[in-house]
Each structure stands twice: as C-alpha cells, then as structure tokens.
Amino acid sequence: MKKVEIYTDGACKGNPGPGGWGVVLIYGKQRKELWGGEANTTNNRMELTAAIQGLNALKQPCQVELYTDSQYVRKGITEWMTNWKKKQWRTASGSPVKNSELWKLLDEACQRHQVSWHWVKGHSGHPLNELADELANRGVLEPSSGV
C-alpha cells in the first residue's frame, strides 16, 4: 500500500464569507497541489473540504498521514464522529451536527484508506502547512483553478 502525506488547510475572508481550501499531497519525491473555494462559506467548511479533496484525490487505497491545523476536523473525525453516527448525526445535546453532509463525505473518503490524523499548529512555520495555507488563500481568489 502506498504511503502518502497530505497537508490541508481552509481559509475564509469573513466567517461566513468567501472561502478557500488547499491541499498538498506528497508521495515519495512527488508533490501535488490542489486548491478551490466557494463564494459564501465558513472556515470550518473549508477545513473539512480540504481533507475530503485530499483523500478523494488518491486514485487507490493508501496509507495516509493527514496533517491539519484544525482541531475541529481532527477531533471531529477521531473523537466525536462515532457518537454522532450512533445518535443519527446529532450532538450529545441532541441538536443536529453542523456540516453533517461534509462529515459524511469525509467519513466515506476515509473508508477507502488507512488514515492517521495529525494536528500541526497553524502559522507556526511548518513549510508544508504554510504551503497548504497559501493554497487555501489562493482558493479564495481562484475558486476553481487548482482542482
């Protein structure tokens, strides 16, 4: 099984407002950059979209090390999702899970791969996280150019 690293980030100018997502995929010495965006969205939606797009870009099942600076995404997928699914996509308080359609897409994308989730502090100088951030900001300006 191929081993791939994925770095993801989301950006939003206003929350809600125009947003973008960015992805850096690393396989051996190969690197691929993806970005996109939406006219009216939120930062959390763009963070989720980045992870979905990164995983869906893989053409076959892979062993993935996925890096995000979003605790919302990392904790959602590793800690909260199991209970959301048991409760029919409701939170512990009984309210609907926000962005459930994206969480479902992320869950589906994860099923095809072996994914290990990692949190990296945003804007801390990590080169590939900084690149994902640049791509996400590019996605705000060029919503459909990098897919």
**What residues are labeled active site?**
9-10, 47, 69, 123, 133
Where b means 16+ CB within 10 Å and e means fewer, 42-52 reads: bbbbbbbbbbb
Instruction: Count Cα neighbours of 26 within 13 Å in the Cβ-side half-sphere.
Output: 14
Angle at CA of residue 62, ends 2 and 108, nearest 5°:
170
**Cα(55)–Cα(67) distance, integer angstroms:** 12
